[in-house]
Every structure is written in C-alpha cells, then in structure tokens.
Amino acid sequence: PLALSLHAVAVTRNLLPFAHVANAFVSLYGKNGLPDSARRVFDEMPTPDVISYNALMDGYIKAGRLGLAMKEFHRMPQRDAVSWGTVIAGCAKVGQWEEAVALFDRMRGEGLGPDDVALTAVLSCCAHLGALEKGREVHEYVMQSRSRPNVFLCTGLVDLYAKCGCVEVAQEVFDWCPVRNVFTWNALIVGLAMHGHGTVAVKYFNRMLVEGVRPDGVTFLGVLIGCSHAGLVDMAKRIFSEMEGRYGVSRELKHYGCMADLLGRAGLIEEAMKMVEKMSTKGDAYVWGGILAGCRMHGNVEAAEVAARHLLELNPEDGGVYSVLAGIYADAGRWEDVARVRKLMDQRIGRRNVGCSSITTDQ
C-alpha cells in the first residue's frame, strides 16, 4: 500500500521520467515481492540504465524467478559488478552451483572485480560442490583485494574449508577472521562435528559461550552431532537439557534425532525410548532410525520391533527397515522371524528399495 501511494504521488507530480525516481520504484516493488509491478515501471522508462536492470533482476530473484532474471542479464547493454553478483547469488540460492561458478569465471574473464555478494555466493557454491581448489583461488583473491573482509566472506571461507574436511585450515581462518557472528561459529562447529572432531567442536562451543555469542538451533545440532561421534554422552545430555531453559532455543526433531542416535550408540536404548515418549510431537524417521540403529549395535530385539513399527508407519516401503530388523532377528537366532520379515518385505515392496533408508548402522 505504501509503495502504491508513493507511486501515485510520483505519477501526479510527473517524477517518473527522472531515472533515479523510476529506479527507486523498480527496487521498492522488487524488494516487496511485487516483481510484476517493478516490471511495469521498468517498461515505462525511456532508457533503463544498469541500475534499472540490476533492480529488476534482484526483484525477480527474490520472487523465485531466476529464469526471468537471467533473461534480463543476457540482454543488458552493459553490466557492472552488481549485475554479475546479483545473478551469481541468484544461482547459488536455488542450488545451481556449477552455473554460479561458471558465471563467476566469466566475470573475471571480462576483467571485472567481483563484489562481496559474488564472492560470498561463489564460496558457498564451492563448499557445496567440494571444489576446494576453486575455493582456494577465491580465498587468494579475497586476501589480495580485501584488507578487512566482512563477516559474510569470513563465514564463507570457514564454511568452505570445514565442509571440505580441511578442519585445521578452517580453524586458522576462523581465528584470523576480524569479525565473526553466530553463522561463522556454526560453520566451524558443524564442520568439525561432521568430520569426526567432536571434542574440538565442543571446545569451540564453550569458547562461543565465553565470548558471549548466543547459540541457535544449528549450533546445538552441530555440537550434539559432535558429542554423538565422540561418544560424549553426559556432555550431550547436559547440553540438550539446557537448550530451552538456559539458552531459549526450542528443541526440534533434528535435535531429538541426534540424541536418539547418541543414546542408541551408547546402548541407552530405554532412555532413548523414554525421551521419545516425552516429545510433544511424533518422532520422525531420524529419531526412530537412530534408535533402530542402536538396537542393531546392541542386540535389543524388543525395542527394535517398536522402532521398526514406527518407521514402517512413516514409510511402508523403506526396505532398509526390513533388512535391519531381519539382521537383528538373525543375530538373536530367531530364524522364523527372519523369514517372516523377509516374506513381508517381498510382499510389500519386493527387493527394489532394500538399499534406500535413512538408517545408519555404522559401528
């Protein structure tokens, strides 16, 4: 409504022929999720400039219309660093990581220096693709061109090295960063946890608290994963219990899933079952999958039957559940039950989905 009112005033006072006024409305409509209105203003401009195109493309991308943004990008008479950064970030946003990296290379090939938006986006793409060498190239460019990188670039660099398993480099970059926020801490903590450095992840979590940074749900997910992989059961139980009361962070299914996995690995199956009973929502595949995996590791047939029943209610065609349950019965020497489960699996799904499951049984 405010945008429309301002637009009406601009029309009444004949201000739209001024490019800076029209550009402001293209940007305003785009930022407010009204790309079609932005387009109408753009089309009425006698000679749209690079700022006009950039604002229109940004509006399209914010509305999830990357294809239209790219169409405008390719027909622009001239492009600046913002133009490139806008579409590179747009591609990264929707998971077109290889396209984003290709655009970045084209931009550099045309002699344009990327802005922070493009650099941050391409670092994210390299992290998702595991493109470590390209990420190192970007890192080198950042070091040469930025005397004090902003928090987004710092976070992108930490995330790149952490996701690629270069955890020592990730820690070095983290300690070098002139500015950090919760996302920077999360990138390092989650990366450490995912690559088996649970004890170090907990160390950084404690350091985060000492430095007064408020953790969020992702922080707790990372530190719980780290505790699970490192077997830090008591530490995880304490952190999990303090999430809501001490830190004001709501427990989500993914946090319960981590705890189920941790308790299952530790053989605390009954404790995991009691935790699920107290949940305000039903357990999902990861919660019950963690318990079932623990049952496989520790030979708890009774709890395995309960977990398997819940998993099959969620997805009757999850062949992995039948296979794990049959394996648990086999370990217990209950061959009639093995035959029964395999027959049931053949009746319901055949053998086609046996390898497709969210359950992990690594020991």
In a domain, 206, yes or no: no
- Sequence letter at residue 158: V
Tokens standing for 243?
A: 């999430």
In a domain, 44, yes or no: yes
3-state secondary structure 258-326: HHHHHHHHCCCHHHHHHHHHCCCCCCCHHHHHHHHHHHHHHCCHHHHHHHHHHHHHHCCCCHHHHHHHH
Q: Determine, yes or no, domain membership for 65.
A: yes
The answer to whether 200 and 179 are in contact (CB under 8 A) is no
Q: Is 49 exposed, middle or buried (0-12, 13-18, 19+ CB in 10 A)?
A: middle
Phi-psi region of 80 (alpha: psi -120 to 50; beta: other; left: phi over 0): beta
Say how far apart CA 28 and CA 271 lie, in whole Å: 54
| DSSP classification of residue 47 | S
SS3 call for 218:
helix
Q: Which residues contact 233 (CB under 8 A, 6 or more apart)?
A: 227, 262, 263, 266, 268
pLDDT of 171? 98
Task: Give the residue numbers spanning the domain of 22.
Answer: 1-78
Q: What Å distances lie between residue 69 and 25, 54, 285, CA to CA?
A: 17, 9, 38
Total of domains in the chain: 1
- Would 185 be classed as within a structural domain? no
pLDDT of the residue at 16 = 56
Closest CA relative to residue 96, chosen from 74, 69, 116, 77? 69
Distance CA 357, CA 355 (A): 6
For residue 58, tell me if it sits in a domain: yes
Residue reference for tokens 């992995």: 320
Instruction: Tell me whether residue 167 is in a domain.
Output: no
61 is a domain residue: yes
**pLDDT value at position 160?**
98
Task: Report angle CA 175, 193, 266 to the nearest 5 degrees.
Answer: 145
Q: What is the pLDDT of residue 22?
A: 86
Give the span between the Cα atoms of 317 and 349, in whole angstroms. 6
C-beta separation of 174 from 158 below 8 A: yes
CB 155 within 8 A of CB 183: yes
Burial class of residue 80 (count of CB atoms within 10 Å of its CB; 0-12, 13-18, 19+): middle
Q: Where are the beta strands (DSSP E) in the chain?
A: none
Q: Which helix (H) or strand (E) holds 249?
A: none
Indicate whether 342 belongs to any domain. no
Instruction: Return the exposure string of 233-271: e unless at least 16 CB atoms fall within 10 Å of the residue's CB, then b.
Output: bebbbebbeebeeebebebebbbbbbbbbbbbbbbbbee
pLDDT in tens, the chain (363 residues): 566 656 655 556 555 556 777 888 899 999 999 999 999 999 989 899 999 999 999 999 999 999 999 999 999 999 999 999 999 999 999 999 999 999 999 999 999 999 999 999 999 999 999 999 999 999 999 999 988 899 999 999 999 999 999 999 999 999 999 999 999 999 999 999 999 999 999 999 999 999 999 999 999 999 999 999 899 999 999 999 999 999 999 999 999 999 999 999 999 999 999 999 999 888 999 999 999 999 999 999 999 999 999 999 999 989 999 999 999 999 999 999 999 999 999 888 865 554 545 555 454
